[in-house]
């Protein structure tokens, strides 16, 4: 019996999409934290929440991408072809 070919989900992996969205928000928050008015930082007990939140979101997004790269979703090619053929028949 021949070994089944396998295909990785790649850019269509939902983890990559989620990581991209979180990274975009993280970049925006980080920029807002860098240009924050000191009076606004004082309102939050002296903690620059936008900066720290943005950095945390960027780290979280990087971990999601790392997770997607280290443990990719693998789909057998034959199974995907059979499913597509079944859907065409229906």
The residues spanned by each domain of the chain are 13-89
Which pLDDT score is estimated for 10? 64
User: Residue 18: left if φ>0, alpha if ψ -120 to 50, beta else—which one?
Assistant: alpha
Q: What is the pTM of this model?
A: 0.71
8 Å CB contact between 5 and 80 = no
Q: What are residue 8's DSSP bridge partners?
A: 74
- Give per-residue pLDDT as tens, 48-74: 999 999 999 999 999 999 999 898 887
8 Å CB contact between 55 and 25 = no
Q: Among residues 64, 71, 53, 83, which one has the least CA distance to residue 17?
A: 64
């Amino acid at each position: 019996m021949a070994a089944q070919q396998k295909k990785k989900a790649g850019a269509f992996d939902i983890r990559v999409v989620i990581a991209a969205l979180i990274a975009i928000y993280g970049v925006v928050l980080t920029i807002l934290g860098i240009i924050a008015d000191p009076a606004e930082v004082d309102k939050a007990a002296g903690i620059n929440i936008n900066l720290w939140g943005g950095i945390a979101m960027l780290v979280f997004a990087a971990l999601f991408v790392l997770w997607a790269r280290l443990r990719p979703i693998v789909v057998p090619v034959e199974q995907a072809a059979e499913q597509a053929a079944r859907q065409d028949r229906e």
